Structure 1
């Protein structure tokens, strides 16, 4: 049974103008309406032209038959008529297409199942002046949506929508926040003017159907083509004409789609305004933040659960696991709780936004988090905050949690007898992983997310800087700047290539045209080279400083670094060689080879020339103990099969598939050995730090420093 829930009261005295479409929305409506009208005109012209073509083909067919009595001429006439009819069929087939939503992983709940939830949802529908949902479904994930089976005719006849609520979402929200999220979904349908969104969607569906959903037309054309030589001519002519029509439609598809996405972003602002009008601005902001946090935690839970599967362990309730991960994340990021739910602060969000490149994504269907929060703050509606768990509105909360837990595990195959474990197993797995990979805390995160630069262990620098000049706040930020710049360079390259479709972008708050990306790529690349060289030099100086001040441990310390550099070099060399080998393997795996003996033999012969070198590398690895402690049985089996020549008994494509995965698994193992070797060196280094009294600046001492 659920606890007695309190329906969060809606704010009083809200002006009706608050939820009216904004001027920006109205502008987008005009733009989209113009595009739709243009498309309709073009479509009508194409349709009338196809009818005229069919009539003309029929007239020519009749004319030929009247002039010539040969059966072949009669069939040719029918072929011409078929040509016209096929073209018409292509242009009208969308009218009969129905897009059904896949509900196989959802479960429909009735009012009898969840009476309080139905009351809650119906009250929100009343508050937002939206129609009640036709059906209510639950899903396993972190989501909320309104959906329906759509067709061309749904533009003209009203269709009741279904409401979808994700159990993973409910698990991360308060009652007031759940109200805000559902009010947002109802907001999309609470205004008559929002009907245009459906027209835009259906217009795009019409074009998409004609461009990409041609199975029924293709089958019809194949039947006609196979029936007779005249049918083949009709199908061929129709295909040529339809390709020209499709090129026109593709232009409209891109144009309307881009305008639809602009309108969609304005519709999201409108739906947020509806949510704020009945749930409050701050509550809606916190709902957005907690929903994102819950999704991260849920995906992390599934990831850790998959690792437990390797140990034949199955968690008894995935949603208790999600809660456990949320608590872990709160502790990790120094956040706090309010009524057992995380408080997502501005500082936390800012720590995840380090890019200097800002652009407006024309292909995004939703505004950015920052834009949505700014819009909600400008609305500035206060409401009573009921911080009780959103589960309070459910009668059978535990039942649904266990139902979807079982549903998720139905897709998993266990190797042996399953052991049921609690959510504590997730924390145990995380702790085990941290113990295996985590670096000593004394370094803060100076060595995290990177490898120590390679340097000469034999030649000591003539002079060493004082420790305070080596390990200062600027040094601690050097690595972060390198990582941030690397991401910005990738974004700028995507802007330059057109992969990110924008006209302009902002860099450090200043606007640039798309063409300005090239100069910033060049400048940031130079900065990367300088910063990387400085960081490598810093790594060397730190090593020598620690070694010099711990002479009794210097040889042992050197041996640890020497071992790390050795494993690092082995991995780098193997990665370079494996990349070359993959060039001969990938064409087989990607099905890109023509079925000719020339291409087949070429790639096969190239691989056979490379294989002895690969074999000798593996022999050397085994001899030197590189494969000692291989953690996966699969890699052990693959190694033995490859070394024993068993791969050559397989079909060529299967052999290449196995070799490709063997290369990848070996690289993963070498990366693991590399990280373990670095960790061993740094653990000794941490001991020497403590012995020498060396200190590293704390992160808390660096707040406010700009990269």
Structure 2
């Protein structure tokens, strides 16, 4: 691969977009709140330090003035309490959050001259101080870590996610780096980045730092004589924490629109340099590439259990990208990257309930695309791979992969390499196992079959039967209508939660129009009426489709029709069992969550939790036993799952032994609860495939019932 770098044609002195007035107003507002926070913060620390000093001084004066045992006994707690109070300010002043740098590799200018020249050019165009160091990190982000002070501009560090590089061409990579540098391109935006760092620092101090439960007070709470002093000190610190958290809420509410405007401004800078087309394509490919990269990361521990590893995680990522593009009908460009089209994005059904009125720290991709499209910046886009800017890309990718394994999944014993071709074979096999025939146009994908009525077994008249075909029964538009129904059900649950006060929202948007929270109940009635109409249409369409297939089967004989009916009924039977199993599994997971989420309780207090767990486990065991007795179903499970299931069914349904929790037994229960429903759904999918294959053979005799062009059934 060539490493020659040719700069994109860019105006010598491009006009960067100015920060929006809203950004400047929010910046002033957040700065004022943060200044108020630190003023109150300092006053509280001084007050606590003064109170601690007063207790220590008073105790010492009392002990030296009276020279009596009772006075000394009284003075000692005062001195100790004062020391505890002084410990809090010292921890606040010197406590700092250290950012973890476990997964990053320093890139040398001598090894990657094209990359450093590329970044230097962008820094000059964006009028940003060139980063002092560049690091490679595993994921999908490009981050500029500014120096800790506005007075010191040098020393910024740039982190580049190799997953992002793997997902973009060079023009799109230019856009993403330009928007990253754009966070520090102008004085007001640079101040906004500094304010964002302070926002994170305050959050860490109030919600994640251990300074509120410092060592001294924790030790004191463990001793009977010092316990009252520890409670007093902790109570005073808790009062400080309560007040500062209230101030932080003001900061956070003001920071949300500021962060949003800063992201949009960074997009505008990237768009002005790379062009609108590259900016929109970069946003789309970063979203798709991120989803595929997450899949690859999720695969790592699963492979590690089988003593398998990727030599190059990014080669596997690219393989998954190609597979994803093929299954979703996306073409590959010259750089072998998916071309994410409007038609692909429109296939996703978006929620009708949005909370934009509440503010969001990050604008969604659709809004960012609209801004870039409106900018209408025309630039020539470099279509080569972004890896052209790096020296020895494969070596860097393998180094980062080894770092991920060494620090996240260290090897215990020998292992074997899992190649991208083996990954592709596995993905294609899974796809074939779960995909429905393409002639159904995703009509049955990701949903259960509808229950039949007696009328469904009434054969259609010949004239009516001749009017129906696969094209009319399973029109491609029907799949979108069905997805809209399921999306509406989710939106109805959201509106119900708003109406019940479970989701606190002053206002929200429904179908693009703003509404107060009080309107949720009325809108829910409207949406439920739509859902009822959609459900009636789907039920009627499902029944019609079955009657058509059943009638055609009757033409070939009663036995053919009965076989088709039994295949359908078999799916319904197992769907009902799967629903019962899922309900019981969710109860057990909820129960274990309550059990292990309860803190500060004794075993005697925890015993009711164990009683509930054992009762729910017994019901789950009964359902599992029924499945286990089905040889066809049990034999379809993986050997490891069969072994675990057999061991689970043989062990006693008890999770306490002489008052001691049986952690291993609870872990086995949890593993079975997570794994069995997934395997059962795969089995039901195969039953659905058998019915659909039989129905398709009736409509088009001799047709190959392949899943070409179809999405996975589950």
1:504 and 2:471 correspond: no
Instruction: Look up the match of 1:5.
Output: 5
8 Å CA contact 2:451, 2:572 repeated in 1: yes
What is the CA distance between 1:367 and its match in structure 2? 1.8
Per-residue displacement from partner, 1:631-656 (whole Å, max 9, x unpaired)? 22232222322343367698543333
What is the CA distance between 1:114 and its match in structure 2? 1.4
Per-residue displacement from partner, 1:197-254 (whole Å, max 9, x unpaired)? 314532552464145413485202235567894x655433221112111111111122
8 Å CA contact 2:168, 2:286 repeated in 1: yes
Instruction: Look up the match of 1:280.
Output: 275
1-structure distance, mates of 2:685, 2:319: 28
2-structure distance, mates of 1:292, 1:260: 25
8 Å CA contact 2:141, 2:164 repeated in 1: yes
**Residues 533 and 415 (structure 1), Cα distance of their counterparts in 2 relative to 1, 3 Å cut:** farther
Instruction: Look up the match of 1:222.
Output: 218
TM-score of the aligned structures, taking structure 2 as reference length? 0.85
**Residues 85 and 192 (structure 1), Cα distance of their counterparts in 2 relative to 1, 3 Å cut:** farther
2-structure distance, mates of 1:549, 1:603: 56
Instruction: Look up the match of 1:213.
Output: 209
* Greater displacement, 543-552 / 76-85: 76-85
1-structure distance, mates of 2:14, 2:150: 32
Per-residue displacement from partner, 1:350-400 (whole Å, max 9, x unpaired)? 333532223317463322222223333444433232222111111121211
Q: Which runs of 5+ in 1 are unaligned?
A: 701-707
Pairing 1:438-453 to 2, within 5 Å after superposition: 438-453=435-450
Q: Match of 1:628, SS?
A: helix
8 Å CA contact 1:129, 1:190 repeated in 2: yes
**Number of residue pairs matched?**
690
1-structure distance, mates of 2:106, 2:375: 35
8 Å CA contact 2:221, 2:230 repeated in 1: yes
**Residues 76 and 347 (structure 1), Cα distance of their counterparts in 2 relative to 1, 3 Å cut:** farther
What is the CA distance between 1:329 and its match in structure 2? 3.0
Pairing 1:245-264 to 2, within 5 Å after superposition: 245-264=240-259
What is the CA distance between 1:627 and its match in structure 2? 3.9
8 Å CA contact 2:220, 2:230 repeated in 1: yes
8 Å CA contact 2:347, 2:480 repeated in 1: no
Instruction: Look up the match of 2:572.
Output: 565
8 Å CA contact 1:495, 1:514 repeated in 2: yes
8 Å CA contact 1:176, 1:386 repeated in 2: yes
What is the CA distance between 1:547 and its match in structure 2? 1.0
**Residues 72 and 192 (structure 1), Cα distance of their counterparts in 2 relative to 1, 3 Å cut:** farther
What is the CA distance between 1:276 and its match in structure 2? 3.0
* Greater displacement, 328-337 / 255-264: 328-337
1:684 and 2:694 correspond: yes
1:642 and 2:637 correspond: no
What is the CA distance between 1:160 and its match in structure 2? 2.0
8 Å CA contact 2:280, 2:369 repeated in 1: yes
**Residues 89 and 518 (structure 1), Cα distance of their counterparts in 2 relative to 1, 3 Å cut:** farther
* Greater displacement, 262-271 / 379-388: 379-388
8 Å CA contact 1:32, 1:256 repeated in 2: yes
Q: Match of 2:576, SS?
A: helix
* Greater displacement, 97-106 / 301-310: 301-310
CA RMSD between the two structures: 3.7
Instruction: Look up the match of 1:657.
Output: 667
**Residues 200 and 353 (structure 1), Cα distance of their counterparts in 2 relative to 1, 3 Å cut:** same
2-structure distance, mates of 1:182, 1:121: 8
**Residues 63 and 312 (structure 1), Cα distance of their counterparts in 2 relative to 1, 3 Å cut:** closer
**Residues 381 and 526 (structure 1), Cα distance of their counterparts in 2 relative to 1, 3 Å cut:** closer
2-structure distance, mates of 1:649, 1:203: 45
**Residues 604 and 62 (structure 1), Cα distance of their counterparts in 2 relative to 1, 3 Å cut:** closer
Per-residue displacement from partner, 1:436-493 (whole Å, max 9, x unpaired)? 1111111101100101012246873487776558656775544122122123224434
**Residues 506 and 313 (structure 1), Cα distance of their counterparts in 2 relative to 1, 3 Å cut:** same
8 Å CA contact 2:91, 2:211 repeated in 1: no
Q: Which runs of 5+ in 2 are unaligned?
A: none
Q: Match of 1:550, SS?
A: helix
**Residues 433 and 120 (structure 1), Cα distance of their counterparts in 2 relative to 1, 3 Å cut:** same
2-structure distance, mates of 1:471, 1:243: 63
* Greater displacement, 415-424 / 167-176: 415-424
1:521 and 2:518 correspond: no
1:532 and 2:535 correspond: yes
What is the CA distance between 1:11 and its match in structure 2? 2.4
**Residues 97 and 638 (structure 1), Cα distance of their counterparts in 2 relative to 1, 3 Å cut:** same
2-structure distance, mates of 1:131, 1:334: 43
**Residues 337 and 658 (structure 1), Cα distance of their counterparts in 2 relative to 1, 3 Å cut:** closer
Instruction: Look up the match of 2:391.
Output: 395
**Residues 339 and 584 (structure 1), Cα distance of their counterparts in 2 relative to 1, 3 Å cut:** closer
Q: Match of 1:164, SS?
A: strand
1-structure distance, mates of 2:501, 2:204: 23
2-structure distance, mates of 1:479, 1:448: 9
What is the CA distance between 1:163 and its match in structure 2? 0.8
Per-residue displacement from partner, 1:166-210 (whole Å, max 9, x unpaired)? 112112222222222112111112222222431453255246414
Q: Match of 1:342, SS?
A: coil
2-structure distance, mates of 1:210, 1:619: 50
